[in-house]
Amino acid sequence: MEPFKLFEAELRFLDIIWGVEPVNSTELCKLCDQKLGWKKPTTYTMIRKLCERGILKNENATVTALVKREEVQRYESEALVEKSFDGSLPAFVAAFLKDKRLTKEEAAKLRRMIEEAEE
């Protein structure tokens, strides 16, 4: 799962791509200039690096993601729980919910998710 380890700038870049893919690389440069303040060489360098890692595909100047947003989110979440909470999901949930109130709908949704995970 190591290929999904991404820096903040890479995540922001992928977020743009996930929102518009497939996207022409020239159009992607324009979007990155507007949203990230990146110049063309920076965008092309990022495309190249993420293609080399198997995260993006750039074919005929059309960029698409080879990994889904959900896959990266799952990896990032698992890495956070492992690093900051010694792998303990209950410790993470306790820290996350400290001083927070859940709506009845949120609590019900979490209960359903836990029940489904137990099966």
- Predicted confidence (pLDDT) per residue in 42-56, tens digit: 999 999 999 999 999
Q: By three-state DSSP, how is residue 66 classified?
A: coil
Phi/psi region, residue 20 (left: phi>0; alpha: psi -120 to 50; beta: rest), is alpha
Q: Is the C-alpha dihedral spanning 46, 50, 51, 56 positive or negative?
A: negative
Domain with CATH 1.10.10.10 in the chain: 2-69
pLDDT for residue 27: 97
Instruction: Report pLDDT digits (tens) over 25-36.
Output: 999 999 999 999
Instruction: Report pLDDT digits (tens) over 67-89.
Output: 999 999 988 889 889 999 999 98
pTM for the full model?
0.77
CATH class of 2-69: mainly alpha
Cα distance between residue 99 and residue 94, in whole Å: 10
pLDDT for residue 1: 42
CB atoms within 10 A of CB 28: 26
Q: How far is CA 76 from CA 7, 13, 80, in A?
A: 11, 16, 6
Q: Are 93 and 107 in contact (CB under 8 A)?
A: no
